[in-house]
Amino acid sequence: MTLEELFDICQNLELRQAKLYASFALHLGDYDERIARFWERMSTEEWQHYILVDFGRAICIETFGKDTVISETDTDETTSPIVAFPPISIQDITDALDAHESKVESGRISLDEAFEIAIEIEGSESDTIYLYLLSIMRQAIQASDQPYLMSRIVQVEKDMVSHVDGLVQATLKFSKDPSLNRKAHRLKEEHI
């Protein structure tokens, strides 16, 4: 897979997640206005991730080239400046999103199911792809001698923790399901 292909995949995942959260706002907003606003905010944050991926694409392609091959095994740094891609299945990620989208499209989704889907998404390997691309963006910023851009990446990392924290807080506030609340707590622990 090339660097450009990986950025395309990540942008597609972020877009699909943004749309899914927007659907939650539409389908579940009649529970409570606060719930509608929460899902709208989650969707907006995913759109921001989408935009950041596009920013990262520009700097990484300028620095490394769009056809740079992303290796799935560690390579000698003299042959590739980019660290190996983590051992995850992109197909599994897209299959899970397909299933979530089908469930939402059916129109039969409860608030707890929406929280469960969101917790699964935010704890999934799609987050690993996003974090991997952030590490490549860091490398590109350092290699291009544009350190002033690093603060943008640092802010994104803080925003990711805040994004997950918002999901956890909303789950604990609006769900009375103890197993779902435990999943929310585990998600938070994974993102600290």
Query: Residues with Cβ < 8 Å from 28, sequence gap 6 or more?
Result: 35, 36, 39, 109, 111, 114
pLDDT tens-digit readout, 89-115: 999 999 999 999 999 998 889 999 999
Lowest mean pLDDT among 52-56, 169-173, 180-184: 52-56
Residue of 170 and 71 predicted with greater confidence: 170
Query: Residue 78 — very low, low, confident or very high, per pLDDT cuts 50/70/90?
Result: very low
Instruction: Retrieve residue 159's tokens.
Output: 């925003």
Query: Residues with Cβ < 8 Å from 140, sequence gap 6 or more?
Result: 56, 59, 60, 62, 63, 64
**pTM, 2 dp:** 0.89
- What domains are there in the chain, each with its CATH number? 3-190 (1.20.1260)
Query: Residue 125 — very low, low, confident or very high, per pLDDT cuts 50/70/90?
Result: confident
CA distances from 76 to 1, 59, 82, 187 (A): 18, 23, 10, 34
Among 170, 166, 161, CA closest to 189: 161
Question: Can you give the pLDDT at residue 131?
Answer: 86
Question: Can you give the pLDDT at residue 20?
Answer: 96
